[in-house]
Structures are given as structure tokens and as C-alpha cells.
Amino acid sequence: MPDDLTLPEPVGSFPAAGQPVPQHWSRCFGCGDQSPAGMSMSFTAGEGLDVWGRLEVAPRYQGGPGVIHGGILSTAFDEALGMVCRSIVDGPVVTGHLEIDFARPIPLGSVLEFHARIDGSIRRKVYASAEARIVEGPTADPDVVVATSRGLFLTVTAEHFEKTKDFVDGVPERPFGTSSI
């Protein structure tokens, strides 16, 4: 991470602490309510440049016997880190780099809580990090971090999606006027 990062003020469009952070697009695999095969993650704004996320670990997310697939967990972190970027960016961002540390097995049937925050930004680059805890389920312990993640997100303009807009699955919507598609 560069050492000349700044921590911007939150943008006016970001919800107040404790309020839901809405899906950024209804067809998103991570958060969309019109993505039947998706993960239906939900998010709440934190006290600062942070969000809280929730994921119910469905049986279809299985990787090894009885545990979440690592790619699903990575997707959930991607979503959580992307969501927290909305606290400082009033427009689309895309993932440039994502890293995950898998610290503990996560059984199917768990409910995961994610806490993601902005670490800083410079130019178009936003650095964010997050951790996950099991808050419901067979091995729930809110004091134990089961996985951590760090990511780099890049702000982009609507033109970024021009080349792929013909492949959109479903009708593009702009729930907040600044949706990425």
C-alpha cells in the first residue's frame, strides 16, 4: 500500500450510520435482489468509512465437504470491499487486485459478518480491507476472525462498461443514478 494515501470525507450519497447500503445493481451476483442464483448479501453503513455485510452460507456454496468454497468467500469479500468504496466514491469502481487469507474453515449453514473499511485513496486508487466472523451457526464465535481480505479498487467512468453492455443479463437499472451499468 502506498504511504501517501489520504482518507477523504464521506460522499453525501452514502447512507447514515446504521442505515442499509443499497444494492449497487439488482442483477449483481453478490448483492442483487434480481439475481436468483446469487448470494443476496446485505450491507449496513458503519460509523465512519466502513460497512457491515452479511452472508448466509447456503449449501450450494460448498467447496470441501461441509465447508464454504474459497471462491465464494472471495466473492463475498470483493462485494464487501467494493461496497465500502461507495463511502468515498459517488460512481462506479472495479476491482484491480484482491487478496484473501483463509484462517478457519467456515461450515455451511453459517452466517458470516463482514466488516470492511477504507484504508486510503490516491488518484483513482482506493485501498480497502475487511475481515469476516461467523456470527450464527455451528461454530459461531464473534470474537474469532475466520478470514481477512485486502483489495485495490479503481474508479471508472460509465464508458468502462460500453464494450460489455450488449452482454448484460437482464434490464440494466440505475437505482441511484450512478449505477455502474
Ligand X SMILES: CCCCCCCCCCCCCC(=O)SCCNC(=O)CCNC(=O)[C@H](O)C(C)(C)COP(=O)(O)OP(=O)(O)OC[C@H]1O[C@@H](n2cnc3c(N)ncnc32)[C@H](O)[C@@H]1OP(=O)(O)O
Q: Which stretch binds ligand X (CB under 6 A): 38-46, 59-67, 75-83, 110-118?
A: 75-83
Contact status: 87 vs ligand X (CB under 6 A): no
User: Could you give the count of Cα atoms lying within 13 Å of 156 in the half-sphere of its Cβ?
Assistant: 17
The partner residues of 117 in beta bridges, in order of sequence, read 50, 129
Contact status: 74 vs ligand X (CB under 6 A): no
Report the phi/psi class of residue 120: left, alpha or beta, with left for phi > 0 and alpha for psi in -120 to 50.
left
Instruction: Please state, in angstroms and rounded to a whole number, the distance separating the CA atoms of residues 94 and 118.
Output: 15
**In contact, 5 and 119? CB cutoff 8 Å:** yes
Contact letters (x/-) for ligand X, 137-176, by CB under 6 A?
Answer: ---------------x-x-x-------------------x
Q: Which stretch binds ligand X (CB under 6 A): 51-59, 64-72, 87-95, 163-171?
A: 87-95
Chain positions contacting ligand X, by CB under 6 A: 24, 78-79, 82-83, 85-86, 91-97, 123-125, 152, 154, 156, 176, 178-180
